[in-house]
Amino acid sequence: MGCGNSKVPLEASKKGYVGVVQSLVAFSKAHDDSDEPKKCSEKGRGPWFSTGVKSREPASSSQQPILRDGRQQDKAVKYKDKFDPRVTARYDIKALIGRGSFSRVVRVEHRATRQPFAIKMMEVEAPGGREVCASELAVLQRVSHANVIQLMEVFQFPQRVYMVLELATGGELLDRVVSRGHFTERDATQALRMALAGVGYLHNLGITHRDLKPENLLYYHPGADSRLLVTDFGLATFGGTGPELPDRNTSDEGDRTSVGRSWSLRTTCGTPEYLAPEVLLRRPYSCAVDMWALGVIAYIVLSGSMPFEDDSRTRLYRSILRGKYSFHGDQCNLGTSEPSLPPSERQPWPSVSNLAKDFIQRLLASDSAARLTADQATRHSWVVTMAAGSSTRNLHRSISQNLRQRASRSSSRCPSSNASSCHASSTEPGKADVCGK
Ligand SMILES: Nc1ncnc2c1ncn2[C@@H]1O[C@H](COP(=O)(O)OP(=O)(O)OP(=O)(O)O)[C@@H](O)[C@H]1O
């Protein structure tokens, strides 16, 4: 279940990782006209080799039911032809999972071990594909954490890159919220703690994700004890973490590599509803943008509605810059034509604790320097007390109702007049003049 518009892509021709796949292609052409994938047994030596299958325990086949097999399998047959035979010699393609802007993701089985994996096939030659692929690979080849999707092996050819990934079969974060019959603040903190663990790990490595949203948080398996995995590193970058740079304005037009929180990033990218104010203001920004996005995610998980939403991009950005959200409900939901629940029951916020609201407010702080870091967020009283306590207040009905209504009105979103009248200013006002330019 998705929340948000299509993403704002990486600005073209930035320095940094663009060159990685180019050099990979050049390397491949210069050294091997037969288009043979480069092999290596070790991670981290460079992007132009297969890393060899890693040994993280895959989900068992009994933990696979979420993938819808019928039509996907037919499509998989179609996509099999597009796969390089050197990949299909090793992996049996079972079903199509989904498509991204530059990618197709299929469920596969390792022919020798019968272990299930996902393969993300990326079109390197599509416009913009090179940058996205290079960013994703550069990050995936360096990470290993229980809450971050694990790269197992890579096959790289001039036109396509095949990333063999851990297979996540538990579905997206919000799908699970809806599919459960019961959802409490405690459940929310459990999910957020896992997301924070993954994001904190990335930040400690100097990586900023830049496209955190519920769709990019996948459960490893359908069981209640599943890990939650941060996925989709197409917009991720090295930088934005580490000691603050002495001169915040020295950055060139591209992102910089650096090793907490340095305001070293400049590229405007991400998904509109999740963009932090500093990104919209085109100021140098840091990994704090991920913490803002986690604030948006926390708001959605607890209410089923978006803190910032508008059909008009300009108005959406203006509300973000004004910090214009409220804990009083979502006018868009109130305005729907089939209100199967009375407004009081569509409003989870009166039932949500003040601590939870405080958590969100500290993440949705317009001043990025005041925003919680991943480590601070993990130690926030709401996360600590809810994880230890047993909150029984069931928010499920109103959250899932709101989420379903959002999904069903995706083609006819609520009138903007409603949206602009429904939010009260709650954080730093006064920045609206900057937006819409
Ligand atoms: N390792 C994985 N296991 C299971 N499903 C996955 C895995 N990786 C990606 N997916 C799913 O495959 C689909 C396509 O993912 P992909 O990352 O290629 O694109 P996207 O993020 O949906 O789109 P875009 O590239 O435009 O951001 C999504 O539904 C995603 O949840």
| The pLDDT of residue 35 | 35
When mean pLDDT is compared across 31-40, 115-124, 139-148, 166-175, the lowest value belongs to 31-40
Instruction: Kindly report the backbone phi and psi dihedral angles of residue 164, in degrees, each rounded to the nearest multiple of 5, phi listed first.
Output: -90, 120
**Considering the domain boundaries, does residue 178 fall inside one?**
yes
**Considering the domain boundaries, does residue 215 fall inside one?**
yes
Portion of the chain with pLDDT greater than 70, in percent? 64
172, pLDDT greater than 90: yes
Is 371:291 a contact under the CB 8 Å cutoff? yes
DSSP string of 126-178, one letter each residue: STTHHHHHHHHHHHHTT---TTBPPEEEEEE-SSEEEEEEPPP-S-BHHHHHH
74, pLDDT greater than 90: no
Alpha carbon nearest to ligand 1 atom 28, residue: 98
Average pLDDT over residues 10-33: 32
432, amino acid identity: A
**Considering the domain boundaries, does residue 9 fall inside one?**
no
Mutation pick for ligand 1 pocket among 97, 115, 164 (CB with most ligand atoms within 8 Å): 97
121, pLDDT greater than 90: yes
CA distances from 120 to 10, 19, 85, 117, 211 (A): 19, 21, 15, 10, 18
The answer, yes or no, to whether any atom of ligand 1 lies below 6 A from the CB of 121, is: no
Determine how β-strand 103-110 pairs with β-strand 237-238. Answer: unpaired
Instruction: Kindly report the backbone phi and psi dihedral angles of residue 202, in degrees, each rounded to the nearest multiple of 5, phi listed first.
Output: -60, -45
257, amino acid identity: T
| The pLDDT of residue 128 | 86
Inter-axis angle of helices 381-388 and 354-363, nearest 10: 140
Is 262:286 a contact under the CB 8 Å cutoff? yes
416, pLDDT greater than 70: no
pLDDT digits (tens, 9 = 90+) for 131-144: 889 989 999 999 99
Range of 103's domain? 61-166
Final residue belonging to a domain, choices 148, 166, 184:
166
Is 140:233 a contact under the CB 8 Å cutoff? yes
217 & 279 share domain: yes
233 & 309 share domain: yes
Ligand-binding annotation for 94, yes or no, is: no
- Under the banding of pLDDT at 50, 70 and 90, the label for residue 213 is very high
| The pLDDT of residue 69 | 54
**Considering the domain boundaries, does residue 53 fall inside one?**
no
Is 292:272 a contact under the CB 8 Å cutoff? no
361, amino acid identity: Q
| The pLDDT of residue 72 | 60
Angle at alpha carbon of residue 413, lines to 409 and 419, rounded to 5°:
130
The answer, yes or no, to whether any atom of ligand 1 lies below 6 A from the CB of 151, is: no
Q: What residues pair up with 95 in beta bridges, in sequence order?
A: 107
307 & 404 share domain: yes
145 & 286 share domain: no
Final residue belonging to a domain, choices 143, 166, 189:
166
Average pLDDT over residues 210-232: 96
196 & 156 share domain: no
DSSP string of 285-349, one letter each residue: B-THHHHHHHHHHHHHHHHSS-SS--SSHHHHHHHHHHT---SS--HHHHT-S---S-HHHH--G
Token readout for 268 is 């405007």
45, pLDDT greater than 50: no
- Under the banding of pLDDT at 50, 70 and 90, the label for residue 4 is low
Count Cβ atoms below 10 Å from residue 243 Cβ, excluding itself. Answer: 10
Token readout for 275 is 């963009």
| The pLDDT of residue 255 | 44
Distance (Å) from CA 60 to ligand 1 centroid:
20
Q: Which atom of ligand 1 is nearest to the CA of 215?
A: 31
pLDDT digits (tens, 9 = 90+) for 313-359: 999 999 999 998 999 865 444 333 345 556 556 678 888 999 999 99
Size of the chain, expressed as the number of residues it contains: 437
Strand intervals (E) in 124-225: 151-156, 160-165, 207-208, 217-219
Higher pLDDT, 117 or 388: 117
Final residue belonging to a domain, choices 144, 166, 188:
166
12, pLDDT greater than 60: no
Whether the model clears a pTM of 0.95, i.e. scores above it, the answer is no
The answer, yes or no, to whether any atom of ligand 1 lies below 6 A from the CB of 436, is: no
Number of structural domains (the chain) is: 2
Distance (Å) from CA 278 to ligand 1 centroid:
27
123 & 262 share domain: no
| The pLDDT of residue 179 | 84
Is 210:269 a contact under the CB 8 Å cutoff? yes
The answer, yes or no, to whether any atom of ligand 1 lies below 6 A from the CB of 123, is: no
387 & 254 share domain: yes
**Considering the domain boundaries, does residue 3 fall inside one?**
no
Most confident of 7-21, 32-46, 201-215: 201-215
197, pLDDT greater than 60: yes
203 & 100 share domain: no
- Under the banding of pLDDT at 50, 70 and 90, the label for residue 76 is low
The answer, yes or no, to whether any atom of ligand 1 lies below 6 A from the CB of 166, is: yes
Rounded to whole angstroms, the Cα distance separating 33 from 201 reads 39
Average pLDDT over residues 90-118: 95
27 & 70 share domain: no
Rounded to whole angstroms, the Cα distance separating 375 from 385 reads 16
Round to the nearest angstrom and report the end-to-end CA distance of the chain. Answer: 32
CATH value at residue 257: 1.10.510.10
Mean predicted lDDT score pLDDT of the chain: 75
Higher pLDDT, 407 or 93: 93
Count Cβ atoms below 10 Å from residue 369 Cβ, excluding itself. Answer: 11
Residue among 241, 218, 219 nearest 231 (CA): 218
**Considering the domain boundaries, does residue 241 fall inside one?**
yes
39 & 80 share domain: no
pLDDT digits (tens, 9 = 90+) for 359-389: 999 999 999 999 999 999 999 999 998 755 5
| The pLDDT of residue 431 | 28
The answer, yes or no, to whether any atom of ligand 1 lies below 6 A from the CB of 24, is: no
Count Cβ atoms below 10 Å from residue 138 Cβ, excluding itself. Answer: 20
Rounded to whole angstroms, the Cα distance separating 403 from 1 reads 8
265 & 372 share domain: yes
CATH value at residue 99: 3.30.200.20
| The pLDDT of residue 403 | 80
Strand, helix or coil at 10?
Answer: coil
Longest dimension (CA), the chain: 67
The catalytic residue positions are 211
**Considering the domain boundaries, does residue 1 fall inside one?**
no
Buried b (16+ CB within 10 A) or exposed e, 105-118: bbbbbbeeeebbbb
77 & 153 share domain: yes
Mutation pick for ligand 1 pocket among 7, 120, 135 (CB with most ligand atoms within 8 Å): 120
**Considering the domain boundaries, does residue 52 fall inside one?**
no
276, amino acid identity: A
| The pLDDT of residue 265 | 80
CA distances from 364 to 149, 176, 276, 331, 403 (A): 26, 24, 8, 20, 21
